[in-house]
């Protein structure tokens, strides 16, 4: 899929195109890694951690400085995933606040 085509898709269409599981570009879920939570591919940085940092006032620039192994496209993928699966992200945040 080309970038312009992805931009033109609605979020619902993108979710249907991407499917579930490990097919979301730049996002992985692996049992036993980061509790199986969605994370930036090839890292141990869960999406919920980035979302929580954003809520606490961190900017994308701050996050890129704090996590030098990721790039702006990783954050874009993370924000798109979080928008597509808000209940999953919120559940992970709540679960980890208790831990």
Question: Which residue segments constitute the domains of the chain, with CATH numbers given?
Answer: 39-99 (1.10.10.10)
In whole angstroms, what is the distance from residue 80 CA to residue 94 CA?
Answer: 20
Nearest to 40 by CA among 89, 85, 83, 73: 73
Measured distance CA(10)–CA(71) in Å, rounded: 24
Cβ density class 8-32: b for 16+ within 10 Å, e for less: eeeeeebbeebeeeeebebbbbeee
Q: What would the pLDDT profile of 81-92 be if each residue is shown by its tens digit?
A: 999 999 999 999
pLDDT tens-digit readout, 10-30:
565 555 555 444 568 899 999
Residue 93: the pLDDT is: 96
């Amino acid at each position: 899929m080309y970038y312009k085509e992805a931009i033109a898709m609605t979020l619902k269409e993108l979710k249907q195109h991407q499917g579930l599981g490990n097919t979301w570009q730049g996002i992985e879920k692996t049992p036993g890694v980061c509790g199986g939570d969605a994370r930036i591919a090839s890292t141990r940085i869960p999406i919920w951690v980035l979302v929580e940092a954003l809520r606490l006032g961190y900017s994308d620039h701050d996050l890129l400085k704090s996590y030098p192994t990721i790039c702006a496209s990783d954050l874009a993928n993370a924000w798109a995933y979080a928008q597509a699966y808000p209940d999953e992200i919120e559940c992970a945040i709540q679960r980890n606040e208790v831990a």
